[in-house]
């Protein structure tokens, strides 16, 4: 028995693909991809064209892809297609050519999945099992896509690696790499992965998450977002903790919407994932692994130290992993820089333990330079990502939870009145508690206005908040009157 949950269309070059997500007698939902403008009969003929093309060109499986090579193959493929489809028109010829190039020197049917913006993860476990995907709304799904052989999986891993100067072999059977768009890739070879060769792709979001997106999908409520905005506006450093897949980097990207445009921002990542508003004075930097000879490595620590020489007002760091990185970042906080970073930890208490014990091992007193700790959580059963806890950091460096996620009501609720936060803002801004409450109320109105007008583009939000910082009153009037501005 089948029950269709949803259907939508994905475009891959000129190929239209119908996606159907449905419940079956299987224990997990299914993700079925069906080509709309290439019939089953045409696909069979294309398989014959592909076999003839490979035979004539004697293509090795580990062939490197270059632009000249691609152009040459395209010309030869078009000649073959005209042999099998003599009356084909130019548009159909382009469509069939793109299809064959994907399957000969591209990533084949995996490219359908790479073009689906609803997917976060693509997993090839071996050639016997279907490809699995992680869908934003439905979680893990089995697809109707299979790899034709273990050699084909290895071929795809080789293509990915060579595009970024890496190789995967029996002597080096593990590979971390990324696609040109920024998607992160991990690959392993049999017998290290005992069932067969594997590829895991964590997709880079085409549209970066904005604070409006997070409020609309329930990740955070307006009250909590306004409090974080207040802290960011007044340059409090924030650490974002959470487990794998909890949305730490997406949350960091959304918080960057609140940065004022007249400050210099430097971001440091292993793989480029952040996209800040274009109006900001932003310099993105990225680490580099050593080449096969072990030379040319640029580490996170190298970039953190270098960033401090570039007169930054704010520093964003993809993830804190090592003691020396943490020491330099906390030194930067103590010398007046605002730092925003992520860390793997499941709650505030675990965050404190990870920071103050080996391998990071920062003295508790040093942690007092932090303004806030925000913990993100993903419910593996429902797939929901939520802001789980917000804590202020006391003078002794110990965290004090002020906002806690209420799972029954599916929202954040205050459980303690901020103390240290109010003291810091009063000391450095002159704002008393009454003025803070007024400022928070204004920020809540602005956030509600963004949601009401469905303004989700990070660049549009950046321009609007730049106006807010420069001319707050006119923008607030529009928000109060519900006008778009």
CA-CA distance, 112 to 202, in Å (whole number)?
Answer: 15
Nearest to 317 by CA among 286, 293, 347, 282: 286
Nearest to 107 by CA among 56, 48, 167, 158: 158
For 3-202, the fitting CATH number among 2.60.40.1190, 3.30.450.380, 1.10.287.130, 3.30.56.10 is 3.30.450.380
For residue 224, the 8-state DSSP code is: H
CB-based contact 412:221 (threshold 8 Å) = yes
Give, to the nearest 10 degrees, the angle between helix 323-334 and helix 300-307: 10
- pLDDT exceeds 90 at position 102: no
Give every strand in the sheet of 314-317, ordered side by side: 281-286, 264-269, 314-317, 338-344, 238-242, 372-378, 385-393, 399-406, 411-414
CA 125 to the chain's CA centroid:
22
- pLDDT exceeds 70 at position 69: no
The continuous run of DSSP H or E covering 423 comes out as helix 420-429
Question: Is the four-CA dihedral 467, 473, 475, 479 of positive or negative sign?
Answer: positive
Give the β-pairing of 238-242 and 372-378: parallel
CB-based contact 281:302 (threshold 8 Å) = no
* Model pLDDT, residue 380: 82
CA-CA distance, 426 to 307, in Å (whole number)?
Answer: 30
φ, ψ at 36 (rounded to 5°): -90, -35
- pLDDT exceeds 90 at position 278: yes
Indicate the domain borders of the chain.
3-202, 214-429
Tell me which of 158-172, 297-311, 384-398 is least confident.
158-172
- Helix and strand tally (H, E) in the chain? 15, 18
For residue 203, the 8-state DSSP code is: P
pLDDT in tens, 381-433: 788 999 999 999 999 999 999 999 999 999 999 999 999 999 999 999 999 99
Residue 180, number of CB atoms within 10 A of its CB? 9
pLDDT in tens, 192-208: 999 999 999 999 877 88
- pLDDT exceeds 50 at position 228: yes
State the residue for tokens 């570039």: 310
- pLDDT exceeds 80 at position 237: yes
CA-CA distance, 235 to 74, in Å (whole number)?
Answer: 54
pLDDT in tens, 311-344: 999 999 989 989 999 999 999 999 889 999 999 9
CB-based contact 283:266 (threshold 8 Å) = yes
End-to-end Cα spacing for the chain: 50
Which pair of structure tokens corresponds to residue 46? Answer: 């294309």
Assign residue 73 a region (left: φ > 0; alpha: ψ between -120 and 50; beta: otherwise). Answer: alpha
Q: Does domain 214-429 have CATH number 3.10.20.30?
A: no
- Find the mean pLDDT for residues 360-380: 95
Q: How far apart, in Å, are the Cα atoms of 471 and each of 300, 402, 436, 466?
A: 38, 31, 19, 8
- pLDDT exceeds 70 at position 61: no
């Amino acid at each position: 028995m089948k029950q269709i949950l949803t259907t939508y269309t994905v475009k891959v070059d000129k190929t239209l693909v119908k996606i159907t997500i449905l419940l079956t007698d299987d224990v997990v939902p299914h993700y079925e991809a069906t080509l709309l403008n290439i019939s089953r009969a045409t696909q069979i003929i294309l398989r014959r064209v592909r076999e003839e093309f490979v035979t004539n060109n004697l293509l090795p499986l580990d062939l490197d892809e270059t632009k000249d090579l691609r152009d040459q193959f395209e010309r030869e493929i078009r000649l073959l297609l005209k042999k099998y489809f003599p009356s084909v028109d130019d548009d159909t010829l382009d469509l069939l050519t793109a299809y064959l190039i994907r399957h000969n020197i591209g990533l084949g049917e995996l490219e359908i999945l790479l073009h689906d913006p609803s997917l976060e993860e693509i997993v090839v476990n071996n050639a016997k099992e279907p490809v699995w995907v992680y869908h934003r709304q439905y979680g893990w799904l089995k697809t109707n896509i299979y790899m034709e052989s273990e050699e084909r999986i290895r071929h795809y891993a080789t293509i990915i690696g060579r595009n970024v100067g890496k190789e995967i072999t029996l002597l080096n059977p593990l590979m971390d790499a990324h696609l040109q768009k920024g998607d992160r890739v991990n690959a392993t070879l049999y017998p290290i992965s005992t069932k067969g060769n594997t590829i895991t792709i964590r997709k880079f979001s085409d549209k970066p998450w904005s604070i409006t997106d997070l409020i609309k999908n329930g990740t955070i409520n307006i009250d909590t977002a306004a409090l974080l905005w207040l802290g960011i506006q007044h340059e409090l450093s924030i650490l974002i903790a959470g487990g794998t897949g909890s949305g730490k980097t997406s949350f960091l990207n959304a918080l960057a919407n609140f940065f004022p445009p007249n400050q210099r921002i430097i971001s440091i990542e292993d793989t480029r994932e952040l996209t800040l508003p274009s109006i900001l004075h932003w310099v993105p930097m990225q680490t580099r692994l050593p080449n096969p000879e072990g030379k040319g490595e640029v580490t996170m620590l190298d970039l953190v130290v270098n960033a401090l020489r570039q007169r930054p007002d704010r520093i964003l760091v993809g993830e804190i992993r090592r003691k020396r990185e943490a020491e330099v970042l906390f030194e930067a906080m103590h010398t007046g820089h605002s730092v925003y970073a992520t860390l793997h930890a499941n709650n505030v208490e675990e965050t404190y333990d990870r920071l103050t014990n080996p391998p990071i091992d920062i003295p508790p007193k040093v942690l007092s330079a932090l303004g806030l700790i925000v913990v993100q959580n993903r419910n593996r059963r429902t797939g929901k990502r939520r802001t789980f806890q917000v804590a202020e950091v006391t003078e002794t460096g110990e965290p004090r939870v002020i906002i806690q996620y209420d799972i029954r009501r599916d929202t954040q609720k205050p459980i303690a009145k901020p103390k240290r936060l109010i003291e810091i803002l009063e000391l450095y801004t002159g704002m008393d508690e009454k003025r803070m409450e007024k400022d928070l109320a204004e920020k809540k109105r602005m956030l509600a206005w963004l949601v009401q007008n469905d303004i989700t583009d990070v660049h549009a939000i950046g321009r609007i908040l730049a106006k807010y910082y420069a001319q707050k009153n006119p923008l607030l009037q529009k928000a109060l009157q519900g006008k778009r501005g």
